[in-house]
Amino acid sequence: MKHWQPPPGTAGLIFDCDGTLADTMPIHYRAWVKILAAHGIPFPEDRFYSLGGMPTSKIIQLLSGELGVVVHDLDAVVHAKESAYVEFMNEVTIIEQVAAIARDNRGKLPQAVASGGYRAVIQQTLKQVGIADWFDAFVCAEDTEKHKPEPDVFLEAARRLKVDPVKCVVFEDTDLGMEAARRAGMFGVDVRMEFGVGPKLLLVGPSQVGFGERSKD
């Protein structure tokens, strides 16, 4: 297993949850297929992975809008999808390559989880894999108006950790998440390439983006 060390100057670590700390993405996909089928909305697996990091409500709005499908009760569909995932949660396992970094740096550097998922579900997921008490802050879908690829979730995590955003390292498994890290001016580590986590067909671009000035995009 590759032993990862924080770059010089690192003041905080920020982890995505789904597909980064916990192996949840295949289970989320099963839940999506189950719920969207009832509405006649197809969701190809590659499209699912390309939208990783986007909150459930926004994915439903995006897909239904593209197909012209009217979703009369968005909150009900969101609840159904999240409930379907929770039904399968006992199958969730830890992603040891990434969790080892959080374990090694616990008590040495402040750590946060920053996710497009909903707080209750994220905390249940982290409890399932036994690491819910490893982190000093949580930023979830409810906490910011804008979501990945916008940098807000990571900037809010840095604020809650009381560290300079440009001195944070982000661990991510999605293109949207890596772009959010770049826009936040943070050092981003793509766990797909760095540790071989997740579907290999989606490995695009460098495995890391370095510390730098916050993007003006």
- Catalytic residue numbers read 16
Alpha helices by DSSP H, listed for the chain, are: 25-37, 45-50, 56-67, 74-87, 96-105, 119-128, 152-161, 175-183, 191-194
What are the angstrom distances between the C-alpha of 197 and each of 32, 116, 149, 178?
Answer: 21, 19, 20, 14
Strands 93-94 and 208-209, bridge-based pairing: unpaired
